Structure 1
């Protein structure tokens, strides 16, 4: 492939609780790591008086006695092949048979039992991602094998099942009722210290715009969230599950400890994902079917807008919900269902958190004048095969980019699979490639990638990102 400049230096969250520890950036967010297991230590504390001046001392203990048994430790193991060029040599392997060619990576996160009768445990996708073995340790010390039910990487939610009896579940609360200033409690296993409780308040709701963390509608809290807290419970004072702890922010990296900036996935979002995983096995998202871009002050002025805010529609895909609603290129979306839209990413994030068939109210500006439209979201395509697009792509399968990469600023489509010996493979396309541009036309995601092939280009050239490099491929 002919080299091209690297498009973007990407790094996924350093402490995502799985099996790697890759720093995003010294000034970006970090997932609450799954921690290496250590022995539990119970700090000694002085007993408080039951009452002061005749008044009972407030305590979280009664609520926690009910809630803590529902929070579990999630232990994972992954067999990793040791990459060493000498192992490819049979002579070397015969001389040194005792040299290990595999190692086992272990990590520890948290989980929450949400259905005691069925043994359903909610945790983070990054806690169990690529695990070969998942075991759950209950608050009473029992350890059981877990069965994988399903996960959604783009919201970092996973569902597993355990066969244990006499379980305690946490009831799901309504996270939409949370207000800034509400008291919350985080329960989990930071650094392997099981059944650890920290408390704080809700610092913000609907937090988004954090690079590298997928679709975002986070609860922000100052309750301490550290490595190993991933997948644990954020509980209100009524003992209801209002969030799943997933990430913390620290400019010095997650291992530097908590600084009071923790993020949790709202329980209402988790409930919707779990329902789809249980009934369908996958999460299906809705989409308006538009391409948008951010506004510049010059564009905003030209469109008669007072400020450079909103998502400028650049293309409306045929047959989409947006097309049926009458949305046009040049429209500016300022809010959706009453939720402010500051830029193109905010609109994309709203779509990604919406279900198929949902009807939304759009507040737009057309030629500088206000206009309200209603649109129904249609199903977002999950994958496309190359022969659906162009014979020259036969043998390849395409998917949308993981949302964590898209939040980091990358647009395009992922080559999820290429059949050996296929036409696409013979032209040099490989699984894991990211197609960022093509002679077929402009595109930003899977839906617009498909639309760009109408009509098919006479010559098909792809700009491909592969690892840290890139190049161009002529598809024959």
Structure 2
């Protein structure tokens, strides 16, 4: 009897709310409309750059743009306005919005639900997550909302969005969480997908759970016509809150940096390496940096970082970024079938990206020779070829000069201009080196051979089958 009662209560808890009115009334004072203003060039100087979604966009197209039928012609530089949304996170006036809402603006005005308007200043921005932090000065404490734990949200949970869609003013829409963990185009993407109506102007506005906590920042929509079709994306609050904390403290982001190039461990790569599970982050290259100083090597598989299990490249990227700069963290890697624990002192990603440079060096020519193997036509890399492919002149390896379009190599994405630098996690410089690795893989009963392939200096591992006999040398 108690079991049936409990089940009935669970079902009742999952039914739709009778009304969202109480929640809307609770959160409205903390949500703001944002109007930005910027000087744009005249058509003679390259054409007005009206921000997408601005109410002036249609006006420009119809009346100002010669291609849209308007009179066009040279004009004086003028001001253009754009609209967006945001929300207050502290009583002293800190406001969160999207970076693209305020990017390029020289004036920012915030309108509150009460009708009060205040000028805002930019505290800091993070284009990688499209988050910006603003600050207003108020004579009285401002109503604010708090971040919730986005990791607790489940597909099917009710959510509410609020903002300034299409410049219509404060507006509320409700829906459910449609999906979790969506990626669009950013390295640190962790989007909540929702069918709550989100349109232009909602950008930067909050997505609330039923407790009135912000669990996402409305950022993007997927739409063939520019309007809501029920596929909207909100950056998860657990990403946003960390970015906001850094912007508030430093005025900029300070992400941890490991200093490796990595790729996911696919099932065929796992088989080629003799791994039990296809998980972890496979290191493809270790340039100068924290990882190299700690003794990490290409071919290592990172399985645990600072006590957190790593299942994919995405796991490692986000975990490292969330770690404090200068911290010494334990990293467990799988190397030659054994686990090794290394201590890595993290650098700062922003500094590393600013300091990136491509080195150059001289090299000696190598006798040309070709071989057809694994669906590839290969030749030893020469200094001239290396430089033409964006590699160091003294780089070693086998250049791919042709790919059989019907081969597994073509299916795996190999193409002319790729360079194979390792096979079976051993360097290859000569044709004979690769032939030996293929023979060793077959003798060991392996179905595939792991190749380290560089394209324009960017490395990745690819596993190719070695079941068929090697073709004769040409």
Range of TM-score over shorter length: 0.5 to 0.7
- Residues 321 and 378, structure 1, Cα contact 8 Å, conserved in 2: no
Deviation, structure 1 residue 358: 6.0
Deviation, structure 1 residue 269: 2.2
Deviation per CA, 1:369-407, whole angstroms, max 9, x where unpaired?
566767553322426788999899xxxxxxxxxxxxxxx
SS at match of 1:115: coil
From 328, 333, 339, the equivalent of 2:297 is 328
**Which one has a larger percent helix, Structure 1 or Structure 2?**
2
SS at match of 1:272: helix
TM-score scaled to structure 2, two decimals?
Answer: 0.60
Deviation, structure 1 residue 144: 1.8
Matches of 2:340 and 2:230 in 1, distance apart?
42
- Residues 43 and 75, structure 2, Cα contact 8 Å, conserved in 1: no
Matches of 1:345 and 1:386 in 2, distance apart?
23
Partner of 1:172: 147
Matches within 5 A, 1:55-70: 58-70=18-30
SS at match of 2:32: strand
From 83, 92, 104, the equivalent of 1:108 is 83
Partner of 1:380: 349
Matches of 1:374 and 1:286 in 2, distance apart?
14
Partner of 1:281: 251
- Residues 359 and 392, structure 2, Cα contact 8 Å, conserved in 1: no
Deviation per CA, 1:284-337, whole angstroms, max 9, x where unpaired?
10022212245566644321246765532122345515753x532211235656
Matches of 1:177 and 1:390 in 2, distance apart?
46
From 142, 146, 152, the equivalent of 2:116 is 142
Cα root mean square deviation, aligned: 3.6
Count the aligned residue pairs. Answer: 327
Partner of 2:44: 84
Partner of 1:231: 204
Deviation, structure 1 residue 100: 1.8
SS at match of 2:134: strand
Matches of 2:239 and 2:354 in 1, distance apart?
30
Q: Is the aligned partner of 1:303 residue 2:278? A: no
SS at match of 2:22: helix
Partner of 2:424: none
Matches within 5 A, 1:154-303: 154-166=128-140, 167-208=142-183, 210-211=184-185, 213-250=186-223, 252-253=224-225, 255=226, 257-294=227-264, 299-303=269-273
SS at match of 1:146: strand
- Residue 202 and residue 296 in structure 1: after superposition, are their counterparts in 2 closer, same or farther (change >3 A)? closer
Deviation, structure 1 residue 216: 0.7
- Residue 440 and residue 271 in structure 1: after superposition, are their counterparts in 2 closer, same or farther (change >3 A)? farther
SS at match of 1:270: helix
- Residues 36 and 107, structure 2, Cα contact 8 Å, conserved in 1: yes
Partner of 1:151: 125
SS at match of 2:243: helix
Matches of 1:260 and 1:316 in 2, distance apart?
43
Deviation, structure 1 residue 247: 1.2
Structure 2 unmatched ranges of 5 or more: 1-16, 48-72, 362-388, 396-455, 457-474
Deviation, structure 1 residue 169: 0.7
Deviation, structure 1 residue 178: 2.1
Matches of 2:235 and 2:309 in 1, distance apart?
18
Matches of 1:352 and 1:387 in 2, distance apart?
18
Query: 263-272 vs 184-193, which deviates more?
Result: 263-272
Partner of 1:49: none
- Residues 199 and 228, structure 2, Cα contact 8 Å, conserved in 1: yes
Matches of 2:45 and 2:137 in 1, distance apart?
43
SS at match of 1:382: helix
Matches of 2:334 and 2:234 in 1, distance apart?
34
Matches of 2:215 and 2:351 in 1, distance apart?
29
Matches of 2:30 and 2:335 in 1, distance apart?
52
Matches of 2:309 and 2:197 in 1, distance apart?
29
- Residues 44 and 75, structure 2, Cα contact 8 Å, conserved in 1: no
Deviation, structure 1 residue 99: 4.6
Deviation, structure 1 residue 177: 2.4
- Residue 362 and residue 222 in structure 1: after superposition, are their counterparts in 2 closer, same or farther (change >3 A)? farther
TM-score scaled to structure 1, two decimals?
Answer: 0.60
Matches of 1:249 and 1:346 in 2, distance apart?
25
Larger relative contact order (CA 8 Å, sep ≥ 6): 1
Deviation, structure 1 residue 277: 1.4
- Residues 121 and 159, structure 1, Cα contact 8 Å, conserved in 2: yes
Matches of 1:376 and 1:182 in 2, distance apart?
40
